[in-house]
């Protein structure tokens, strides 16, 4: 195997830009933002995914705001929040329609 000579930087030390300075870190995507979007896509599965999408979306937005640019995913978080509210609204509308349908019989 090719082992680096002793005293040379290894991959576990991170990457370095020319001149020996640490390379800038790349932004990572917020996990709660991804989870908010995914659960928001399941808004049609009753009330729970909508609530979870809204909560995770707000957690992700807070995490993104506090990271100073190191964490991304604002669009996914907002999409999850919007889909969560749409799901709750559609469920509420369905309950109202069902209620008036039952009363009309």
Does 19 fall in a domain?
Answer: no
Does 21 fall in a domain?
Answer: no
pLDDT in tens, 73-91: 999 999 999 999 999 999 9
Residues of the chain with pLDDT under 70: 1-25, 105
Quick check: helix, strand or coil at residue 105?
coil
Q: What is the pTM of this model?
A: 0.70
Q: By C-alpha distance, which of 69, 65, 64, 70 is closest to 32?
A: 64
Does 24 fall in a domain?
Answer: no
Does 3 fall in a domain?
Answer: no
State the helix-helix crossing angle for 74-104 and 48-67, rounded to 10 degrees. 160
Quick check: helix, strand or coil at residue 22?
strand
Gap between the Cα atoms of 5 and 53, Å rounded: 50
Does 47 fall in a domain?
Answer: yes
Does 62 fall in a domain?
Answer: yes
Domain count for the chain, please give it. Answer: 1
Does 77 fall in a domain?
Answer: yes
Domain boundaries, position 94: 29-104
């Amino acid at each position: 195997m090719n082992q680096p000579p002793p005293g040379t930087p290894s991959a576990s030390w991170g990457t370095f830009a020319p001149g020996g300075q640490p390379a800038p870190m790349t932004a990572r995507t917020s996990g709660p933002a991804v989870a908010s979007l995914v659960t928001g896509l399941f808004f049609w599965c009753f009330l729970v995914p909508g609530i979870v999408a809204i909560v995770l979306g707000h957690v992700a937005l807070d995490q993104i705001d506090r990271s100073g640019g190191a964490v991304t995913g604002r669009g996914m978080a907002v999409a999850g929040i919007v889909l969560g509210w749409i799901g709750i609204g559609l469920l509420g509308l369905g309950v109202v329609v069902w209620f008036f349908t039952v009363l009309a019989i």
